[in-house]
Amino acid sequence: MSRVILVLNGPNLNLLGTREPEIYGHTSLEDIKGMTAARAKPHSLDVDFRQSNKEGELVDWIQEGRTKSAGIIINAGAYTHTSVAILDALLACTIPVVEVHLSNLFKREEFRHHSYVTKASVGLICGFGAQGYELAVDAMAQILKKAKSA
Ligand code: DQA
């Protein structure tokens, strides 16, 4: 069985560190990549960390992860609130999905309160900044451990 977690990041997350730091913090996506891999290691998990500004590319990667990965952690950025295509791709997966966001969506504009991704996810982590990715790795490790022992 695969021990790789696919971590997908959507549009504008390549700008982390400089993009609205009062909302998203000062940590760059490259730093988050390192934090995520370090957190996965003690769980004997590897991380395949990717970012795209293109909806279709994210759909292609989810389809790839469906057969090659143990689970998917996804921050779909603004596509969270708009993309039925990403929802459908995630629903086609039988591997677990954990949704993560840096900001607390529910403290923000009304249009960010709805997520298509949540419908396909085991759970949602939001509001903990970059640390949310570490929490998502821990959650995924627990989910995979439980599934193995079931
Ligand atoms: C985000 C929240 C989204 O509403 C926003 O469009 C993003 C980032 C977050 O991580 O807090 O791009 O997903």
Structure confidence by residue, pLDDT tens digits, 30-75: 999 999 999 999 999 999 999 999 999 999 999 999 999 999 999 9
Mean pLDDT, rounded, for 3-25: 97
| Top-level class of domain 4-149 | alpha beta
Q: Is the CB of 112 under 6 A from ligand 1?
A: yes
For ligand 1, atom 6, name the residue with the nearest CA.
Answer: 78
Instruction: For the chain, give every domain's residue range.
Output: 4-149
Q: Report the alpha-carbon distance of residue 8 to residue 136 in Å, rounded.
A: 12
- The predicted model scores a pTM of 0.97
Catalytic entry in 79, 101, 116, 133: 101
Say whether 121 sits in a helix, a strand or coil: coil
Token pair 């990965």 in the structure block, residue: 69
Q: How many CA atoms lie within 13 A of 62 on its CB side?
A: 28
Secondary structure of residue 73 in the 3-state scheme? strand
pLDDT at res. 1: 82
Phi, psi angle pair for 59, to nearest 5°: -60, -45
Give me the catalytic one of 24, 79, 116, 133: 24
Q: Indicate if 24 belongs to the active site.
A: yes
Rounded to the nearest angstrom, the distance between the alpha carbon of 101 and the centre of ligand 1 is 6
